[in-house]
Structure 1
Amino acid sequence: MESRVRNICSFLGLLVILLRHSVEAQANGDCPADGRTWVPFGQSCYHFVHGEEDVAKRYTIEEAKNMCRGFALLIVNTTSVNNFVVQYSPEVWKNNVNIWLGLYYDTDDDQYKWFDDSVVSFKNWVEGGSPDWDIPLMDKCVVLHSTTGKWENVSCTKDTENGVVCEAAQKPVVIGKKNGSPLLSALVILSVIAILGVSAVVWFFHQRSNSGTALLPSFEYHPPFRAPSADQTCLVEAEELEETS
């Protein structure tokens, strides 16, 4: 009995693994399909802007924002994203470039913020800090060096940089929709049904092994109580009088 339960549990675990991989495969996001090359990484997609010429063009921060066409300039909130940009940059640019970051200096809160007004949780300034004494607070912007990954303060209005990276959130793929596989969706549904069925069988054998008896209790038949009729009552009383006389 115990070996049978173990086999059922092993089968149940296998179904759970298959279901998890199926859901993960369906849950992968999708990058924008706008004719540009988007590179997926983490929960976002990245477009590295570059031209056909050997020497990369230079753009102001406003030109860089316009080139992203409704998407965000590069946001770097983790070390892994920072390293990804450094590792992928040689695929786009031959030499070191300064990549615009989607940062601005909020004079009200006296701190840097991303263009979506989120707080900067990760920083990677050049060693010794980035000197910005000659840059007005309202004119502070930040670039990322493509070879080192270090950040540096620059002027938003006076400096032009040659690295532009746009960022977009990956779109979730809904199971059973256009980008989903009908066969995989059916597998997920059947897996859920199988897991529920096997779980019920495991519970049944577990309860049976613990009780040592049948799950359904045995019942004894007891006929329903019926009151004696008037004739039967008179007969009983006559017999009692006869015995006492």
Structure 2
Amino acid sequence: MLLQGSSVGVWIGLWDEDPDTWTSGKKVSYTNWSPVSPRSFLNDDEWVSRFANEQLCMVLSNNHNFHLTGKWYFERCSESAYGFVCQKPQDVSKPPAHSCRHLPDNIEYRSHTYKVVSGNMSWYDAMHMCTENDSDLVSVTDAYHQAFLTVLVNRLAVPHWIGLYSQDSGINYQWSDGSDTVYTHWDAADDDEDIVNGECVYMDVNGGWRRADCETPLPGALCHVSPAGIKPFISYELVCPSTWVKFGQGCYNFEPVVEKLTFEESREHCRQKVNTSDVLTIESETENRFVLEQLWSSGFHHHTVWLGMYFNFDTDSLAWVDGSPMEYTNWPSKAPDTKLLTADTCVNTRVVDGLWYLSRCTERLGFICKTITNVGTEVEVAPINGVYHGVIAAAVLVAVLVFALLAGAMWFMYKRNASRFQRLPTLGSAYYRQTSSQATESDGNVLITDLEAHSGE
């Protein structure tokens, strides 16, 4: 949990000479091997020919993809891209540095704020108590916050409700605040017995998620505080072509996943569908999760599809086809060395885990088309303060000036053609009736012609 936003990984005290013993001399009793390793960028022959004689040391992955976060893999000990973590024995004569006896009202971790509520409560009671504290039952969507909450609940030493629940007898689960459910951390000891309709989930003292009847009383619950302040909300009227799926500001077509085309053929296929579309680009973890959920729900777990990324020979770097900045990546460990790439280098992603791999652009793979649709209407709703008051005042001033100009123009036209207006019999007998209670009998009725006479004096 302490590594979020840090380097791609850290060295830990294990190497290939004795993989069963830590460098401290203790025997290895726990392992967390990665399903993939950095040698994914090279085939087995290339790996053996280049690095067979080099010593390998263990890296703990800090990849933000939850399939790899915290996993272990071997890397050349001479590699300099990693950080490290030091460990020393705890002094048992001193009290623990952290204690949960007196928790603050708000517990901060990265960009999240948590609250802990205590007392025997059902899942529904927990939701109500979180709401009373201006928060929601917690949702856990990545391994970093899971690790943080694991430490917190472990120190509290009792299980706590979280915001996960089911409405279909345990077939599907959802977060009460609507967060995505791609990341999970079920306890291995949890089983499918005694499943009840509307069952709810709690975090046990070991951090694992377990199911229970929603009316079961538990000692506490974890709440997540919504971000403070009201942010402007912008809604877009986005219309996607038929059979395309809308997400954010883009439209996605998943039909070509079953096609087998080269990288350039895939790009041309997308352009023929919609001239503004191209092969899929992924700009955030949220977008990556959306794409994976769509593919998983359609049963494409074992497919590999093109990403709209290629090696730009002119800039000597990997680039997106739409020119967008490379702010998000999802390599198995670290980004590939561009010195080893050629002009025929493209990138694909495996649907099973969403990881990115290099491949030749002439390979034949499936693909997804994506288009950024022009926004028809943009509506912004924001608090009326500061600059918004200024805008309203300016609008009122402009309206007053326009009205004054129109009134002046009408008065000028009237004075210029006064004789014509005087010949109108209907205007000669028109009058303005004074309604004030203070008006005298002599000025109760004022003829418009009299007003004209006085105004000319």
TM bracket, shorter-chain basis? 0.5 to 0.7
Kindly provide the CA deviation profile for residues 102-151 of structure 1, in whole angstroms up to 9, marking residues without a partner as x: 11111222211111233311110123666999x85100000011121100
Q: How many angstroms does 1:161 deviate by?
A: 1.1
1:141 is paired with a residue whose SS is strand
Q: 1:167 aligns with which of 370, 386, 396?
A: 370
Corresponding letter in the other structure for 2:284: T
Q: 1:112 aligns to what? A: 318
Q: How is 1:99-178 mapped onto 2 (pairs within 5 angstroms)?
A: 99-127=305-333, 137-157=342-362, 159-162=363-366, 164-174=367-377
Output the CA distance in 2 between the equivalents of 1:49 and 1:93.
13
- Residue 58 (structure 1) aligned with residue 58 (structure 2): no
Match of 2:304 in 1: 98
Q: Which runs of 5+ in 2 are unaligned?
A: 1-229, 379-391, 397-457
TM-score by length of 1: 0.52
Matching residue's letter, 1:166 = C
> AA paired with 1:148?
D
- In the alignment, the residues of structure 2 paired with residue 170 and residue 87 of structure 1 have an alpha-carbon distance, to the nearest angstrom, of 22
Q: 1:64 to 1:122 in 2, by over 3 A?
A: same
Deviation at 1:38, TM superposition (A): 1.0
Q: Distance in 2 between matches of 1:66 and 1:77?
A: 22
Instruction: State whether residues 50 and 93 of structure 1, in contact with CA within 8 Å, keep that contact through their aligned partners in structure 2.
Output: no
Distance 1:117 1:171, change over 3 A: closer
Q: What does the per-residue CA deviation read over 1:52-97, in whole Å, with 9 as the maximum and x for residues that have no partner?
A: xxxx342211221122122111011111111111111023344321
**Secondary structure at 1:154's aligned position in 2?**
strand
Gaps of 5+ in 1: 1-16, 176-195, 201-245
| 1:184-239 deviations in Å (ceiling 9; x for gaps) | xxxxxxxxxxxx79xx9xxxxxxxxxxxxxxxxxxxxxxxxxxxxxxxxxxxxxxx
* Residues 25-44 of structure 1 mapped to structure 2, 5 A cutoff: 27-31=236-240, 33=241, 35=242, 37-44=243-250
C-alpha contact (below 8 Å) 2:304/2:350 kept by paired residues: yes
In proportion to residue count, which structure has more helix? 1
Higher strand share: 2
TM-score, normalising length from structure 2?
0.29
Is the Cα–Cα contact under 8 Å of residues 303 and 350 in structure 2 kept in the other structure? yes
Aligned to 2:269: 67
**Which letter does structure 2 place at the counterpart of 1:118?**
S
Q: 1:120 to 1:83 in 2, by over 3 A?
A: same
Q: Distance in 2 between matches of 1:130 and 1:147?
A: 21
Which entry has the higher C-alpha Rg, 1 or 2? 1
Q: Percent of pairs identical after alignment?
A: 26
Q: Which amino acid aligns with 1:160?
A: R
Deviations 1:25-60 (A, max 9, x none): 5x33221x3x4x111111111111248xxxx34221
Report the equivalent of 1:86.
292
Separation in 2, partners of 1:120, 1:77? 8
RMSD of aligned Cα (Å): 3.3
C-alpha distance in 2 between matches for 1:165 and 1:151: 15
